[in-house]
């Protein structure tokens, strides 16, 4: 990613958590994300990398559930917020580009990426890199969407990007308002790939 992109996300850090699904401050929204993600994960302590972790809301959620989480983000200011949230927990936070994260191949059980793939300059290459991070039998979880603004990536497109690297990729539409803190009118979904 370019320094311009890094500066944009640095500037967003101070207000990023004001969106209900970003900060997970509302107990209902937080519980909805926990109910969505935690049952999909292997038993704790699984090694999870949260790419494009932002202010660390999902990093925190998974670490509190007993997982060994490494959050990666391009923005130092986002990571500062994540450090404050996860203080006292066994969480590793790394500065780096989600497209090519500073993590060794075959180093984790789960790769979680939320609202990042659509912004990648080469989504296919990013998915290929993310798959290589996984140990055999590892789990890839992609939360994405095609938003009313026209930005984003459709579920069908995302599924095909994953299927280029893995045998299995299932799509679950995320229409529950509890996940977002409000009703939604655009496409939001989770792609789950176990192999």
Tell me the percentage of the chain whose pLDDT exceeds 70: 98
- Tell me what the pLDDT averaged over the chain comes to: 95
Tell me: pLDDT of 3 over 70. Answer: no
CA distance 76 to 103: 17
Task: Give me the mean pLDDT over the 82-101 stretch.
Answer: 96
Instruction: State mean pLDDT over 17-41.
Output: 95
Confidence band for 6, pLDDT divided at 50, 70 and 90: confident
pLDDT band at 7 (very low <50, low <70, confident <90, very high): confident
Nearest to 54 by CA among 35, 70, 32, 71: 71
Do residues 170 and 191 lie in contact, with contact meaning Cβ atoms separated by under 8 Å? yes
User: CA 166 to CA 121: how far, in whole Å?
Assistant: 21
Residues 6 or more apart whose Cβ sits within 8 Å of residue 63: 69, 86, 89, 90, 91
Range of the domain at 61: 3-193
What is the Cα–Cα distance from 115 to 142, expressed in whole angstroms?
8
Number of domains in the chain: 1
112-135 pLDDT, tens digit each? 999 999 989 999 999 999 999 999
Is residue 24 a contact partner of residue 170, using CB atoms and an 8 Å limit? no
Q: Domain with 187 in it: what CATH number?
A: 3.40.50.150
Q: Write out pLDDT tens, residues 125-170.
A: 999 999 999 999 999 999 999 998 999 999 999 999 999 999 999 9
pLDDT at 9: 84
């Amino acid at each position: 990613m370019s320094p311009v992109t890094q500066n944009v996300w640095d500037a967003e850090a101070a207000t990023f958590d004001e969106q209900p699904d970003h900060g997970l401050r509302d107990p209902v929204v937080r519980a909805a994300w926990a109910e969505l993600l935690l049952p999909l994960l292997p038993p704790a302590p699984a090694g999870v990398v949260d790419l494009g972790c932002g202010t660390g809301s999902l990093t925190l959620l998974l670490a509190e559930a007993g997982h060994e989480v490494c959050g990666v983000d391009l923005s130092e200011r986002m990571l500062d917020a994540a450090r404050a949230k996860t203080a006292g927990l066994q969480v590793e936070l790394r500065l780096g580009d989600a497209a090519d994260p500073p993590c060794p191949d075959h180093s984790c059980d789960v790769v979680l990426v939320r609202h990042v793939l659509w912004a990648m300059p080469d989504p296919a290459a990013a998915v290929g890199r993310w798959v290589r991070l996984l140990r055999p039998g590892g789990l890839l979880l992609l939360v994405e969407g095609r938003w009313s603004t026209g930005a984003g990536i459709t579920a069908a497109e995302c599924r095909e990007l994953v299927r280029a690297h893995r045998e299995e990729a299932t799509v679950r539409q995320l229409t529950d308002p509890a996940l977002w803190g409000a009703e939604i009118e655009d496409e939001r979904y989770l792609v789950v790939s176990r192999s």
